[in-house]
Amino acid sequence: MATSKWIFLTLLLLISSPVFSQQYQIPAESYTLSESGAWCWFADPRALYHKSSEGHFERTWVGYIDPRGNIKALQHDHLTGFSEEVLIRSWFQPDDHNNPTFLVLPDERVMILYSRHTDEACFYYRISKQAGDITTLGPEKKIVTNHNTTYPSAFLMSDDPEHIYLAWRGLNWHPTLAKLALPNENDEVVITEGPWQLVSYAGRGSRPYAKYNTNGKDQIMMTYTTTHPDNQEVNYVYYSSIDINTLQLKDINGRVIQDITEAPHSIKADSSYLQNHPAMVVDASPARNWIWQVVPDSNGKPVIATVRISADKTQHDYYRAWWDGEKWQNTFLANAGGHFHQSPDIELCYSGGMTIHPDHPELIYASVPISGNHGEVYEIIEYRCNAEGQVTTSAITNNSKENNVRPYYIKGSNEATGTLTWMHGQYFDWIVSRDRPQGYPTAIYANRPLQQAKPQPDNIRTSHLKNFPHSLKRKQKNRDFKLQMQVTANPASPEALLLATNAFSYGIDAKGRPWLKVGDTVYPSNNIAGTSDQWKHEARSTNGTWYPPVLHEQFDLSISYQNGVLTTHINGLIDQRTAVPDLKLREIKVSNTALKFQLL
């Protein structure tokens, strides 16, 4: 190990329990979940609630990616009321299409999937070591394909409990499905059947967009478009389901349309297709239609959130589509203005966005431009639709200073655990580049507080120590501690031993990857102590390139020990969590460092 070329500015030793993030409240009863994060709306579930079968845990996970290439997730514990933010993967392609998605496995461990945007033939995933606890993620692994991948959506089905069903945009840029084996003893996951391209379109810009859901048993629900709405002025919306027992594509009446293992079903946006497949076509209006979500109602029938976009892309209209038993109905909800973001020359079909309440699909939450105290700002409005197609509204946000967009309702066990989330702030592009280096500097908000601060320790006695090594004379039986420091780094030569104690050591390797060593065992981090800021200086492109990481010149580091678990945080995000029983901290060995030492 190299001698330290890193300079510690401050080191704080706190004999206490870890302190979690402060709760932030924003006007109109909105709350910050993360100060930096964004998502696209085609990779889902981007957030998930789960209550364990034995009642041992009840948690919500919310995933997002920030413009510095950090894939992150918030874990909220409904039993304790506290939250932790986890760094899933640093130095990733800084693109909001790459937000993580979640799947609870049969053993109730959590699998997190993510991928680059269109330009790499694999998915990445990490699996928690403990049931329901993403702060214990194992190493990053890959599911290799023979084509580029985007938008993973994974499901477990009770009729086939031995497989994961993974849907994505894959083969020929079309909706794709495959069966995956459950993780083996090494948490390896492989494709066992497929992949199968589900539909095909041979027209201009052949790129159908799909959203998925399931009945949890035997049907995967799929709503999709002919292509991207930019590509043609008439863009149909379709609905089909995949029967996992027969691997057949069916319409809403159960009519078999195609065996997906033989060939994809060919779609068109014309009168002949509408005449031959009326139950397949949700919306054949002459507009640049797009989709936002599909949710089953109490009878298992789909409710679909769609948007009709005018030929010149300046007018977006929201609709709720549903099946009345004989035909598709489309209920108008609101005019959604035009594109919501700050860049006038790109992505004119980007509406503010919609989400359907998963337990009450008569409720839709939509982002619409509203005039308020700060001018015209996109606010979240609730739309309640009755059986006769009448719509009533109520405001979720109001008088916001910046836009509220891309809402997503997280299903809970009841109204107390269900949560409405959304992106808040300015938005310039879906990818960071030299054209628009700001990218997507949004925060993640919610309609209820999922962040709560733990109580601060009282009666703290403080002293300042400068000489190292320093022996800690502790009279308490409590072995818990927390070390906090701000580190100034040398990115040109990152390898360094940062902290040495009698119980453990911590450092950075030559590539900028942190490591933790306890005894003879080294625990490497999954992450780099750096960012994807190099993308700010490169062309706007999904070209498959991994630009070199920009290593931190300065960062906050904390190492805590509580209840036999050693945890490292980098810039407030959990990086590593390792079970180390009976750790006894007696001596710290770091030179040229000032120590602020606090005892309860």
Q: How far is CA 187 from the centre of its chain?
A: 21
Q: Which strand (E) or helix (H) includes residue 501?
A: strand 496-501
Where are the alpha helices (H) located in 117-184, listed in sequence order? Answer: none
Please calculate the CA angle 396-399-403 and round it to the nearest 5 degrees. Answer: 75
CA 105 to chain centre: 17
Closest CA to 113 of 129, 137, 83, 147: 137
Displacement of CA 480 from its chain's centroid (Å): 32
Which token pair is 130?
């403990």
Rounded Cα–Cα distance for residues 241 and 297 (Å): 15
Q: Identify the pLDDT of residue 470.
A: 56
The count of other CB atoms within 10 Å of the CB of residue 386 is: 10
Number of other CB atoms surrounding residue 591 within 10 Å: 11
> How high is the pLDDT of residue 477?
57
**Distance (Å, whole) CA 510 – CA 254:** 58
The sign of the CA dihedral 60, 66, 71, 72 is negative
* Secondary-structure percent of the chain, ordered helix, strand, coil, rounded to 5: 5, 50, 50
Q: Which of 110, 188, 132 is nearest to 180 (CA)?
A: 188
Identity at 498, one-letter amino acid code: L
Q: What is the DSSP string of 402-426?
A: S-EEEEEEEP-SSTTT-EEEEEEE-
The Cα–Cα gap between 418 and 55 comes to 17
- The tens place of each residue's pLDDT in the chain, 600 residues long, gives 444 444 444 555 554 433 333 333 344 578 999 999 999 999 999 999 999 999 899 999 999 999 999 999 999 999 999 999 999 999 999 999 999 999 999 999 999 999 999 999 999 999 999 999 999 999 999 999 999 999 999 999 999 999 999 999 999 999 999 999 999 999 999 999 999 999 999 987 789 999 999 999 999 999 999 999 999 999 999 999 999 999 999 999 999 999 999 999 999 999 999 999 999 999 999 999 999 999 999 999 999 999 999 999 999 999 999 999 999 999 999 999 999 999 999 999 999 999 999 999 999 999 999 999 999 999 999 999 998 889 999 999 999 999 999 999 999 998 889 999 999 999 999 999 999 999 999 999 999 888 654 444 444 334 444 444 555 555 555 678 888 888 888 999 999 999 999 999 999 999 999 999 999 999 999 999 999 999 999 999 999 999 999 999 999 999 999 999 999 999 999 999 999 998 988 888 765 444 443 332
pTM value is 0.94
Give the pairing type, strands 442-446 and 419-425: antiparallel
CA distance 76 to 364: 24
Distances (CA, A) of 530 to 549, 551, 570, 571: 6, 4, 10, 11
Torsion over CA of 67, 513, 138 and 59, rounded to 10 degrees?
A: -40
Sorted by where each starts, the structural domains of the chain and their CATH numbers stand as 7-16+458-599 (2.60.120)
Asked if 575 contacts 506 with a C-beta cutoff of 8 angstroms, the reply is no
Q: Is 400 helix (H, G, I), strand (E, B) or coil?
A: coil
Q: Which of 224, 199, 217, 209 is nearest to 282 (CA)?
A: 224
Ordered DSSP codes for 420-471: EEEEEE----SB--SSSTT---EEEEESS----PPPPPPS-EEEEE--SSEE
Question: Rounded distance, CA 258 to CA 598, Å?
Answer: 69
Distance CA 314, CA 317 (A): 10
Cβ contact 135:110 at 8 Å: no
Q: Which residues pair with 12 in a beta bridge?
A: 484, 596
DSSP letters, 259-275, are: ETTT-PEE--SSHHHHH
- Cα dihedral: 446, 96, 34, 76 (round 10): 70
* Under 8 Å between Cβ of 89 and 65: no
In sequence order, what are the residues at sequence separation of 6 or more whose Cβ sits closer than 8 angstroms to the Cβ of residue 468?
588, 589, 590, 591, 593, 595
Q: How far apart are CA 439 and CA 442, in angstroms?
A: 9
Give the residue carrying structure tokens 């490169």: 538
Burial of 135 (0-12, 13-18, 19+ CB in 10 A): middle
Grouping H, G, I as helix, E, B as strand and the rest as coil, residue 540 is coil
- Phi first, then psi, for residue 273 (nearest 5°) are -65, -40
